[in-house]
Amino acid sequence: MVVGSQAVRTLTLQNTSPVAIELEPNAPASFEAPAHVRLEGGASGEVAVTFRPTALGTATGALLGVSSPLATILWLGGDVQSR
């Protein structure tokens, strides 16, 4: 990707546990994700993540899924090249 462009990816998530998971983004400004997503136990859902690089290099972030006592991390990443 290049600075100034953007890519949107839709992630399909499935919660196989019987307990709800709360997803919170933990990413730099170059990633846009919903501020909060709740995925009930046994349910599936989609989350759209947008990557808009603002500088050259590699950018990483995560969606953190938390349900007591479990935690899940969904890593996000992108490489930014010059034109």
User: What is the tens place of the pLDDT at every residue in 20-49?
Assistant: 888 888 777 788 888 788 889 899 888 888
Task: Give the total number of structural domains in the chain.
Answer: 1
Q: What pLDDT was estimated at residue 18?
A: 86
66-77 residues labelled b (16+ CB within 10 A) or e (exposed): ebeeeebebebe
Q: Which domain holds residue 55?
A: 7-80
H/E element, 27 = none
Tell whether 1 is covered by a domain: no
For the full predicted model, state whether its pTM sits above 0.85.
no
Tell whether 11 is covered by a domain: yes
**Residue 55 CB burial class (10 angstroms; 0-12, 13-18, ≥19):** exposed
Contact 71, 19 (CB under 8 A): no
CATH of the domain at 38: 2.60.40.10
Averaged pLDDT, 11-18: 84
**Cα within 13 Å of Cα(15), Cβ side:** 23
